[in-house]
Amino acid sequence: MSKLPFILEQDVPLARLTTLGVGGPARYMARVDDEAAVGAALAWAQARQLAVHIIGGGSNLLVADSGVDGLVLRYERASLAFERDGETTRVTAAAGLSWDALVERAVMAGLAGIECLSGIPGDVGAAPIQNIGAYGQEVAETLTAVSVVERSTGKHLRLAADECGFGYRTSLFKTRWRDRHVVIGIELALGSETHGSLRYRDLIERFARDVARGGGGQADAAPTLAAVRDAVLEIRRQKSMVLSPEDPNRRSAGSFFTNPVVTVQAADAADEVSAAGKVAAMPRFPLEDGRVKLSAGWLIEAAGFPRGTTRGRVGLSSRHALALINRGDASAAEVVSFASEIRARVRDRFGVTLVPEPAFLGFDEEAEQVLDVDVASNRRA
Ligand SMILES: Cc1cc2nc3c(=O)[nH]c(=O)nc-3n(C[C@H](O)[C@H](O)[C@H](O)COP(=O)(O)OP(=O)(O)OC[C@H]3O[C@@H](n4cnc5c(N)ncnc54)[C@H](O)[C@@H]3O)c2cc1C
């Protein structure tokens, strides 16, 4: 297959392109690195009536064992530019850049606003899809625009961040606009504060311990951006939440479920169950809209799945109850089966339904019924 403005491969095993490491091959895969090539790859697929699926670093994906019958497209341009404008710096990053490379470069350049998002795997292009977040920051706080190619027209659009409907681990890209765009870049406005953001309990405690030990900090000195990045990476490593080839918990998609957001009544009902079961107090985080965010990890452990629980070739990370792991040669079906067992037991015990966080690729209606995921867009066009 020659003279195409993109690299086209056939029968590409996808398991090795995902962090979970499960799933079958893509019938076709196109690797593109500019806007024109995106349009050409979309047109190529349309001419053959193939469904198109976009992947980045594969760290939030569960691919079906049967693979993906269509074209899998990956945008690989990885450029990065900083443009100073007074106290703010405009950062323009292409979708194929590694997210953590962007954070590292920003912190090194003294730019504030994404230091707590250190160590999140994957590429820049996926960051707006679920509005990545960690340790008290989320990308929507500093994101100003998302550059996309509209899939139906091949047109380049620049979407202002406030059009994109960002919320906790969600955006319109994941819901109403699902499968409408290929993200080719993002713009951020980063600040020039020299200290890092400290909003999250684990981070605050980590620096408080440092001060108490007399090591590295003063009680009244806010930690630098670099110190916050290092601390986040250290905490994430302890939870197996950075990718490391030596870590036995490394084959995961990060958190498999989002933290459920429920009504006060539903939270009270779950609380009553936990009190009756004499388990430790259930964490609850009141939100501005009156609802309550619960901890999915806590619910999973309280429902009887301690960290390190195994089911054959799959299990829970020994350091994080929210991460389902492939213990070696697992199938996607085994991951789905364990996830549905967890979900059913949490629902039976606490009346709370956990929602999977990763995107599902290549699944059929059966999996949809098991986990209530919308896989309609994964079917052939
Ligand atoms: C160990 C570990 C820790 C993690 N920790 C966190 C965390 O702290 N916070 C957090 O929010 N997430 C976390 N994640 C999840 C994941 O890293 C993020 O969701 C990340 O943004 C996914 O990026 P990716 O490039 O790997 O996307 P992929 O997994 O390849 O794709 C994810 C989704 O984005 C879509 N997508 C990807 N690229 C594009 C594009 N260019 N255009 C349009 N759609 C696109 C895909 O179609 C898919 O729906 C973690 C994952 C792992 C494995």
Asked whether residue 172 falls in the same domain as residue 319, the answer is no
The pTM score is 0.94
Q: Are residues 55 and 197 in the same domain?
A: no
Residue 308 lies in a domain: yes
Whether residue 169 lies in the annotated active site: yes
- Under the banding of pLDDT at 50, 70 and 90, the label for residue 221 is low
CB proximity list for 286: less than 8 A, separation 6 or greater: 292
- For residue 166, the CA-to-ligand 1 centroid distance in Å is 15
Which pLDDT score, from 0 to 100, does residue 339 have?
Answer: 96
Both 55 and 83 in a single domain? no
- 369 assigned to some structural domain: no
Ligand 1 centroid, distance to 216 Cα (angstroms): 34
- Selecting among 35, 76, 187, 357, the annotated active-site residue is 357
Sequence-distant (6+) residues with CB within 8 A of 163 are: 172
**Ligand 1 atom at minimum distance from 20 CA:** 53
- Average the pLDDT over 17-27 and give the result: 98
What single-letter DSSP state applies at residue 1? -
What is the total count of domains within the chain? 3
Mean pLDDT score, 94-115:
98
Give domain status of residue 185, yes or no: yes
Claim to verify: residue 187 and residue 297 sit in the same structural domain? no
CA of 281 to the centre of ligand 1 (A): 31
- Residue 23 buriedness (CB in 10 A; 0-12 / 13-18 / 19+): buried
Same domain, 193 and 112: yes
Spatial CA neighbour of 31 closest among 12, 7, 9, 51 = 7
Active-site residue flag, 307: no
- CATH number of the domain to which 45 belongs: 3.30.43.10
Looking at the fold, whether 67 and 82 belong to one and the same domain comes out as no
Query: Using CA positions, which residue lies closest to atom 27 of ligand 1?
Result: 56
In a domain, 373, yes or no: no
SS3 169: coil
Residue of minimum CA distance from atom 4 in ligand 1:
254
> Pocket around ligand 1: residues whose beta carbon is below 6 Å from it?
19, 54-61, 75, 95, 120-123, 125-127, 129-130, 132-134, 182-183, 241, 243, 252-254, 359
The pLDDT of residue 65 is above 90: yes
Residues 31 and 90 grouped into a single domain: no
Residue 210 has pLDDT above 90, yes or no: no
Centre of ligand 1 from the C-alpha of residue 273, in Å: 34
pLDDT digits (tens, 9 = 90+) for 309-339: 999 999 999 999 999 999 999 999 999 999 9
Q: Exactly one of 255, 317, 331, 343 is catalytic; which is it?
A: 255
Domain of 54 in residue numbering reads as 7-75
What lies within 8 Å, CB to CB, of 186 at 6+ separation is 92, 93, 95, 124, 125, 127, 128, 139, 143, 145, 146, 147
Q: Report the pLDDT value the prediction gives residue 202, as an integer from 0 to 100.
A: 87
Domain final residue pick, 241, 271, 303: 241
pLDDT of residue 73: 98
- pLDDT at res. 172: 98
Residue 248 forms part of a structural domain: no
Residue at 322 is within a domain: yes
Q: Which whole number is the average pLDDT over 159-164?
A: 98
Q: Give the Cα separation of 43 and 48 in Å (integer).
A: 9
Among residues 260, 255, 256, the alpha carbon closest in space to that of 352 is found at 260
Amino acid 211: pLDDT: 75
- State residue 245's pLDDT score: 92
**Does residue 82 sit in the same domain as residue 59?**
no
**One-letter amino acid of 202:** D
Catalytic-residue membership of 357: yes
pLDDT at position 27 is: 98
- Regarding whether 192 and 69 lie in a shared domain, the answer is no
Listed residues 75, 105, 130: the one ending a domain: 75
